[in-house]
Amino acid sequence: MRERSEDALNGNLTAMIDVVFQLIIFFVCTSNLQDSAPNTEIALPVAPHGEVVTQKDPREINIDVDARGNISIVRTKISQSLLLGILKKAVAEFGNDIPLIVRADAESEHTAVKKVLDACSSAGLYRIEFAAFKEKAEK
Amino acid sequence: MARKRRKTVWGAGELNLTAMIDVAFQLLNFFLITSHPVDVMSRLSVLRPKPDYTATRETQLEALVIMVLPEKYIINKTPVDFEQLEGILGKLAIRSKNQSVLIECLNQTHHKQLVRLLDLCAQLGLKNMSLVSSGGA
């Protein structure tokens, strides 16, 4: 009787450990995808003739600017001075040819975008890319 | 007397749930890792002038200056709408795709207007674009 219950426990434990590892792999994959996903609160403008990048540089920095003028990186709101610190550190570590992508809301005013551009220039980054949608989303 | 090991007998309609969950997550992970989402984003590249850059008379004459205002565009001090701007840039692009374009934005300029202009330049093959920001009108 005892042997039977031990066997049952061992068998169930193997399957359970298997499922746990499956869950870990699943969450690791989805969290990686979340990091690179654009902020859904930002409505990017449409630019059908812009360049589509197929191979992304792992050093690229995505800076988001929402319609209210808030600057954020990976959904974390930051100030212009903090952005400057981040960019200077990135330049010191990876050089001044790191790709910089500004994802600004279509309705955002240039004042907010200018803050980002000024921080980039102060950090020594002069080539900036603006992100946009290739096609307008159908409702 | 040998003890008989009783095996678990699955009745009709019973499922081994653990194995099923295992297979479901296997499939999910497989498709997550192997799928390649379609890239729906495009990029428009601009240059910012370096702080030690001073525009000489020659560079000012060579660069086409386009000011982006909330309701219109001003090209070399002449106000135009988007269609007129498209015509002018089209003619310039035919002559030379290395034409320097200096885009000036004001604080009130909406980002979509700037992107619209950059997209037009990308469509026409103009690659030499610089962006400067000036204060309010």
Whichever domain contains B120, its CATH number is 3.30.420.270
Is B77 among the domain residues? yes
- pLDDT tens-digit map of B39-95: 778 889 888 877 655 555 445 556 788 999 888 899 888 899 889 999 999 998 888
Q: What is the pTM of this model?
A: 0.74
Instruction: Give the total number of structural domains in chain B.
Output: 1
Q: What is the pLDDT of residue B123?
A: 92
Kindly report, residue by residue over B86-116, the tens digit of the pLDDT. 999 999 888 888 888 899 998 888 999 999 9
Give the domain extent around B87.
57-133
Least Cα distance to A121 among B45, B42, B52, B117 occurs for: B52
Q: Which DSSP category does B63 fall into?
A: S
pLDDT > 60? residue B6: no
pLDDT digits (tens, 9 = 90+) for A10-67: 557 887 888 888 888 888 888 766 666 666 788 899 999 988 877 778 888 999 999 9
CB atoms within 10 A of CB A60: 13
Instruction: Please determine, for residue B132, whether its predicted confidence score (pLDDT) is greater than 80.
Output: yes
- Whether residue B81 contacts residue B66, with contact meaning beta carbons closer than 8 Å, is answered with no
DSSP B95: H
Work out the number of other CB atoms within 10 angstroms of the CB of residue A118.
Answer: 15
With residues binned 3-state (H G I as helix, E B as strand, rest as coil), the percentages for chain B, rounded to 5, are 40, 20, 40
The shortest C-alpha distance from B57 to chain A (Å) reads 22
**B49 part of a folded domain:** no
CATH among 3.40.50.300, 3.40.50.11030, 3.40.50.920, 3.30.420.270 for A39-139: 3.30.420.270
Closest residue of chain B to A19, computed from CA coordinates: B22
Q: Is residue B24 part of a domain?
A: no
Q: How many CB atoms lie within 10 A of CB B74?
A: 15
pLDDT band at B137 (very low <50, low <70, confident <90, very high): very low
**From CA A20, how far away is CA A15, in angstroms rounded?**
9
Domain coordinates of chain A in residue numbers?
1-37, 39-139
For the question of an ipTM over 0.85, the answer is no
In a domain, B100, yes or no: yes
Q: Of B112, B108, B116, give the one whose Cα is nearest residue B133.
A: B108
- Report which of B114, B117, B41, B122 is spatially closest to residue A133, judged by C-alpha positions: B41
Q: Do A50 and B119 touch (CB under 8 A)?
A: yes
CB pairs under 8 A between A and B: 156
B-chain residues near A130 (CB < 8 A): 43-46, 111, 114-115, 118
